[in-house]
Amino acid sequence: MQDFKDFNTGKTHKKQTHEGSFTQDIVLEQKRQKLKTLAASEGVRYVDLRNTTVNPDLFRLIPYQILLEAKAVITLKHGKKLQVVTEDSKSNQFQALTGKLEQQGFEISPGLCIFEDMQLIHNQIQTFQTQNLTQKIENKLDYSDSSTQLAEYIADLRDSIEKITPSTIREGLNGIIFKAISMRASDIHIQPQEQSSLLRFRVDGMLRNIVDIKSAIYESILTQIKYDSHLKLNVRNIPQDGRMFITVNNQKVDIRVSLIPTEFGETVVLRLLDTNKQFLNLADLGFNKQHLNNFENISDLSQGLILVTGPTGSGKTTSLYSLLTRYNTESRKIITLEDPIEYHLENIVQSQILEEEGYTFKSALESVLRQDPDVVMVGEIREYSTANTALQASLTGHVVLSTLHTNNAVETIQRLYNMGIEPFLIGPSLNCIIAQRLVRKICPNCATELKLEGSMKDDLRDKLAEINETQQKNYVLPEAIKEPKGCTECNGTGYKGRLVIAEMIMVDPDFAELIIKKSTNKTLLEYLKQKGFLTMEQDGILKVLAGATSLSEVYRVTK
């Protein structure tokens, strides 16, 4: 036997399982067939709610109690047309419901479904009826952060998750989100497994296992996440993306939600974005003096293409936003094309790409150029058409900023060749290429020293000699370098925060000529070294010598 709630009476009944369930299935199937016949005779649609996606937003179109009384579900909305289904379309309650919806200007297309299928959907929705569904939901947390041992965080979180009940699902979800924010996590992962679900936080770019969650609790949390982010509750076999907001200590946090089906259920990733984030200046991000001088030069450009490259999670977007703040003056109009818009910037026009509706980076860029912008940021260049339009725009009086996925700065040229862009277009339009990674910063509270000796010392000496030759400087190898240890301030990791290691190409006329000649990467790199070019690894090594990060971190992201 299992519990089954009747949404009409509010009472909980025992439902038979196994053999009794088999008999029940036969009865329900017979009922479905009869209702299909009735629907055909009445000239209306029969809707099988077991195979129909139902958007919870539709339950906000009318007070929920009216839907309950009418024993109805709104299954589809297209403009002002609604499909509303019930088991008895001639009941007074259903007629009253459709009348109220028509008064709101909706055109009603009635349909039939069996009560039992409808009840399953209402049971899901009723979980969330502690709030008025016609109101915008805003969760508010008011906690103060404090440094705590990671073990204490995990023990506290495990205890709170164990205590989650159907009436405290939101409180439990809020607790998970707050703990993630307290630990400076950028993402929350919940991965269903055969016996339980694994909760993980990504902190400073690294995933950490936190606790296992019982499958039943995870299902409740998953449903709450779907509801709050306006996703379809009864859909489990296709990916879904949404967003929700919470307020933590008066700071609004935008949470991007991603669900994909897996072997043991839907896996969830929540990306935490602080909508009030103040973007750091480029020096605070970790760019060195040579890079900052180059940024000073390009911030006065009136046209040209600037590309930031690197894999997902390398900080490209943050660097672009920070660079945009240098261009953001009263005399310039700036338009961004993004998918998605991650942060909102003052005095900048930001446009959301909608691929499914035909509003692509290419079509958006073509339209934006008619808006008389001085600076345009294109979230990502993925293919020939967008790349070609961006390069053409950079030749006609616009500064264009964008990103590409390449391993290093020199490879960016080859990537543009491979897209089909003509070398004679790349050379004159390209102004700057920045390739970057993020490395974790050593926690200043617990850093220790590692004496340099043996092969490590020899390796660093050789690398430093190459840097000195390229830069024509005299960096000195120290006796020891900083090494992570671990304390309460850094949750036992030895690291706290991240910084950029980067390499930057400033395209001068001679380098542009090499591009036009379609020179090899080796030839391009040899030319750059004569100009004092630092590779990402070399930039990282100089940051190791400065005590900002560890050698293992630099090798982790550059090898």
- Residues 198, 542: Cα–Cα separation, whole Å: 38
- Residues 36, 46: Cα–Cα separation, whole Å: 6
- Residues 44, 62: Cα–Cα separation, whole Å: 23
**pLDDT tens readout for residues 295-353:** 998 988 889 999 999 998 899 989 999 999 889 989 999 999 998 888 888 889 999 99
- Residues 35, 184: Cα–Cα separation, whole Å: 54
**Residues paired with residue 45 on neighbouring β-strands, in sequence order:** 111
pLDDT at residue 262, rounded to an integer: 93
Contacts 24+ apart (CB under 8 A), 478-481: 478/452, 478/545, 479/451, 479/452, 480/449, 480/450, 480/451, 480/452, 481/449, 481/450, 481/452, 481/544, 481/545, 481/547, 481/550, 481/551
Taking a C-beta distance cutoff of 8 angstroms, is the pair 203, 183 a contact? yes
Query: Does the predicted model carry a pTM greater than 0.85?
Result: no
**pLDDT tens readout for residues 8-67:** 445 454 444 445 556 777 888 888 899 999 999 988 999 888 777 677 667 778 888 888
Which strands make up the sheet holding 265-274, listed edge to edge?
139-141, 240-248, 251-262, 265-274, 185-192, 196-203, 206-214
pLDDT at residue 150, rounded to an integer: 61
pLDDT at residue 166, rounded to an integer: 65
CATH of domain 139-274: 3.30.450.90
| HEC sequence for 141-210 | ECCCCCCCCHHHHHHHHHHHHHCCCHHHHHHHHHHHHHHHHHCCEEEEEEEECCCEEEEEEEECCEEEEE
pLDDT at residue 53, rounded to an integer: 64
324 contact partners, CB below 8 Å, separation of at least 6: 334, 336, 345, 348, 375, 377, 401
SS3 assignment, position 406: coil
pLDDT at residue 551, rounded to an integer: 94
* β 2-5/12-15 pair status: antiparallel
pLDDT at residue 148, rounded to an integer: 47
444 contact partners, CB below 8 Å, separation of at least 6: 496
- Residues 377, 539: Cα–Cα separation, whole Å: 26
Q: Where are the domains of the chain?
A: 2-126, 139-274, 282-558
Residues in the chain predicted with pLDDT less than 70, given as ranges, are 1-22, 53, 56-57, 124-153, 166-167, 275-280
CATH of domain 282-558: 3.40.50.300
Residue with tokens 């030749």: 395
- Residues 319, 379: Cα–Cα separation, whole Å: 12
